[in-house]
Structure 1
Amino acid sequence: MKLFVGIDVSSDHLDMCLMNMEGEQLESFRVDNNLPGAQHLRDRIVRLANTLLPAEIHIGLEATSVYSWHPAMYLHEDESLKQRKTKVFTINPKLINKFKAAYADLDKTDRIDAWIIADRLRFGRLTTTIVMQEQYLALQRLTRMRFHMVHNLTREKQYFLQNLFYKCNAFRSEVDSSVFGHAIMEMLSERFSLDEIAGMDVTDLADYLKDKGKNRFPDPENVARCIQKAARASYRLSKVMEDSIDLVLGTSIQTIRSIQAQLKDMDKAIAKILDGIVGSKCLRSIPGIDLVYAAGILSEIGDIERFDDQAALAKYAGLTWRKHQSGSFEAEETKRIKSGNRFLRYYLVEAANSVKNREPEFGEYYRKKCNEVTKHQHKRALVLTARKLVRLVDALLRNGQLYTPGRKVNKARD
């Protein structure tokens, strides 16, 4: 016998439904979404379990942003519930909505939603619990913040380039050097006018670039001449417009540098936690997987034993394609599932893009998949390469094995 507990989560309340294996509602109540409320919920579950003596207790919550995290972790870590073989599941809301669609004419209330979650638990086939040690959860907070910061940095750089076009529209076509290098950004933050840049002595401008760039330019005089050429070829702005653009560029430069500095601090914190996770050495032994990719993948997977096999891991990442078959017909073109952990999928695809450039087996596989079609070659081949990478990641983590180029990876143990 099992006891099923469905919990509908909001920022303020937890609505509960306790159900037996026959689908009968045993209790239904509401508590506050805070520590005293979770303790009261725990006590009610334990009291009922002491009466019914179930073999297991299954607790399910929808993954509702940050609101479900605290109650889920509290119920997962509570010792009295652990003694009664309790499993806690955080369930994708899409899965609950599709399950609810099978029930006609149900109202939308928190109590009914809790009942639906409990009934979905009763049907089973939920493979992934929330079981993740604190080190994985702490790492996940850092890697997701890094993900957020990198995307903000990309947007800020695009915005910077848009405004740079106002100031010097010929810069990108004439200057064969990154505008985001320290020296050129220093030059732009000095608010030199185009006439001032065009009128500077080439040697003086080259010396300025060498000083600010710490002698990293292979040919600073050539870069200086290209910058002057761009300055002379660009449109001129009025004084009021030029002052506005200079202020915008200066502000954007400060934002870019601030994010870059924060990313360095973030990487140090990620490295510190990653050193304590055994699986990081396994993943980083794969050519092309660095600290960031290893941290991103591990933080979303957690303990690999949460997944039955590599197919379950691929499905969790959203790297699975639906079959379309009827009778003797089977569609050649199938669509990738839209669900899955988007962060894990992102890191796996980005890692696959890096691995294919450094590991011959993956590079050959990528090129083979590119040659199979004429449309969307890179995107399709890269996602399929990421799916191949899932099998390798799963095997290495389960076996605690380092990757050795040219040798076959042992099959994951049963």
Structure 2
Amino acid sequence: MAAGAQLYHKLAVRMSEGTDLAAKPPPSASAAAAAAAAAAILELNTKACEVWFLLATYVSGMEGRGDEAIRICKALIPHKRRQHVRRLREAAADPKNEYYKDAVSELRRLGFSRAVVSSRPSSTASSTASATSRHGASSATTSVIDLEPDGLADPDDPRVDVVTHSSELNLWSTVLAKKGKLRDAVLLQWRMAETFRSNKEMAKTETQLPTGKFNLLDAYERCLILDLSAPGAAKVAAEMIAERDGGTAAGGAAMATPAPPTLTPAATPAYAGPSYMELVQQMTAKWGALDFAAAEPICRQIVECQAAGNGATSKEVVDAREQLARLLRSAGRNEEAVKEMRETLALHEKLLHGKDPTMSRTLQALADMVSESDRAEAEKLHRRAVDLLTKVYGPDHFEVGAAMMQLAGFIMNDYTRMEEGQEILQRGLAIHQKFQEQQTAMTKAF
């Protein structure tokens, strides 16, 4: 591994015109100052950034090289920001551009003035005087450069965070968590959540975790993804959220990150068993081996664990009970599975007053379980899922199209209704195609 890392390092330095982003800063310089100095030397191209990040990922898992991975991530962040800003400027320079308004709005969010929005810098522009001299930028471009926010070259400044460097923040956070610095790691996860909150599409994105799908913003806010590689991170995040929602963090310092929507918790039972991640690992092993008898008590203990940590009426408990219902069905105990899923749906309906879009999966899971015994109820549940997602996301969202295709598949199981099902399927496919075309266009624009 060491030899492979050395080769990657040589390649990255060569692609960066001799600049070593992994080098230790001088003893007298702060890490932030060293990263800003590295960013001022040159602007890395996209390929160089990719190679440096691959190296950071590689060495992050090597003994004693976590700090090296963090230095690379912190040095890459300013470059990723500038690449993103350049694309925004190009879109904002043309009022006829499809993404003109979005680009202007994003530039202002990042702290750029109207002058930057209305001017088009050269493609070689940099935000530092040294880079301006290096590239020979015009005086008009220099006046635009001076208007860039001060934090653009500072990887520790969250005010100018953008989605494109979320991978660096995530790796940085993971290394800190593995070093035992869980509170610092949580704060970086919150920076990512805040960046996603300002992005319309990312705020709606969901991610699949062992206990089900979660809103991506919420998953990072509560450190659910980080907890998979650093058990205990979610518990620390929950403690910090409680501190923050109370107005102060540990040590009495106010925390700036907005709190996520919260629910009034029910009475929290005492719990002294294994951690959530330990239980998930045990259950996954038993379930994977089809040992349902051994998996069931572990699954029920997960429900107990989640209730103790998050409240008896919480999204975590909903997900755990839905998982239990699926396990019971896999074990051939369909009546018990249906009963558990009905109770799970009733609990889910209390969350966000029944407007939680993830409730569509609970509806669809119950529909699947009752489809053989009561097709009329199953169809109503599928249609409720479509209606819920339409109200939350609008009629043209990807999730709406996916739910319509599930409804269509259910209807087409009845050969007498094949034409009706095909018509719904075509509508769902059209929504999917339109949504994917929009995402592709946005990716090219930014």
Q: TM-score, normalised by structure 1?
A: 0.22
In terms of fraction of residues, the more strand-rich structure is 1
The structure having more radius of gyration, on CA atoms, is: 1
Greater RCO between the two (CA within 8 Å, min separation 6)?
1
Q: TM-score, normalised by structure 2?
A: 0.21
